[in-house]
Amino acid sequence: MPDISSVSRMELAERRRRLRRQRRWRSLQSSWRAITVSGFTVGLVWITTLPAWVIRQPNQIQIEGNQLLSPQAIQSLLPIAYPQSLLSIQPQAIAQHLESQGPIAQAIVTRQLFPPSLSIHIQERRPVAIAYTHSASLEAAPVADRNAAAAGIGLLDEKGNWMPLESYTALNQSIQLPTLKVIGTPEQYRTQWVELYQAVSRSPIKVTQIDWHDPANLILSTDLGIVHFGSFGSRFSQQLRALDQMRQLPQNIDPNEIAYIDLTNPEAPMIQMVEVREVNSLNSP
């Protein structure tokens, strides 16, 4: 009959040998994994720093989503010094730089290794109005003036974002600027701009100018003439409907005799006529 204590010692010794082999195997696996990952990382860094993995010229940058600005204009805004390694290019930093420019609302930048290139998808801010900070700017500085920003002239998009005029004209000389003009301080009307612009853009009566320099009296220049609305508020849509009902007015009254239309109360529109002063000429004997 075998000695029980001798069998137990043999089993324990065998178990220890198996555990030692398992530990050595796990250690070897971990080492190989570390070597593989390190080799892959080093290889990737080495590959991306090779001369073949370098942005050498603008045609390696693909621009998508642009409608108002040309790809060349957008490429001119990129903070890239050619040639530049793909690894050293930070997509997020480039996107933030582009978004800091007036015409670009959003930018997504991605790197491509095969072939080495950059892909940039942008969303532009579309100007819908030329903004003048005060009425004097209409006469003091033409739209084509290069010092328009200093003169208080900019562009507004449909969300009320103000952009320097030069941010567009410097990038595209032939860009078609909006015909709608807005007078006033953007900080005062920005929170109400979206609602007003949407209502004006839907109005069947064309609006060419919005004078908002006095918050107590919104004045629009329309196809029917100058219209006073009072303070902008919840009745604005009703006021525009009342204006639409007056579209036959030029057939009944000479537009040159109308100073302005008062729609402060849309239920009782008023017409302010131009004051006519009679001048008597004396005939000398």
Does the domain formed by 54-124 have CATH 3.90.650.10? no
Give the DSSP H/E element, type plus range, for residue 278.
Answer: none
pLDDT score for 166: 85
Q: What confidence score (pLDDT) does residue 189 get?
A: 92
Whether residue 115 is preceded by a cis peptide bond, meaning omega within 30 degrees of 0, is yes
Give the predicted TM-score (pTM) of the model: 0.71
Closest among 227, 200, 231 to 214, alpha carbons compared: 231
CB 93 within 8 A of CB 111: no
Separation CA 78–CA 66 (nearest Å): 15
What is the mean pLDDT for each group of 10 consecutive residues in the chain (285 residues)? 57 72 73 69 57 82 92 90 87 94 92 89 94 62 47 87 86 85 92 96 95 95 96 95 92 89 95 65 35
> Look-up: residue for tokens 């043999």?
10
In angstroms, the Cα distances linking 142 to 147, 183, 214, 222, 235 are: 9, 14, 23, 21, 34
Q: Regarding beta strands 225-228 and 258-262, do their DSSP bridges make them parallel or antiparallel, or are they unpaired? A: parallel
Quickly name the fold that domain 127-273 has.
Answer: Rossmann fold (3.40.50)
pLDDT at 101: 86
Candidates 147, 144, 141, 166; CA nearest to 155 is 166
Residue 178 is classified by DSSP as -
Longest dimension (CA), the chain: 164
pLDDT at res. 88: 86
Helix (H) or strand (E) holding 215: none
With H, G, I as helix, E, B as strand and everything else as coil, classify residue 132: strand
Tell how far CA 228 is from the center of its chain: 31
Backbone angles phi, psi at 67, to 5 degrees: -130, -40
The answer to whether domain 54-124 and domain 127-273 are alike in fold is no
**Pair of tokens at residue 259:** 């100073």
Question: Domain residues of the chain, as ranges?
Answer: 54-124, 127-273
Strand (E) or helix (H) holding 213? none
Q: Which helix (H) or strand (E) holds 119?
A: strand 117-124
The residue written with tokens 């579309």 in the block is 126
| pLDDT attached to residue 41 | 61
Read off the DSSP letter of residue 181: E
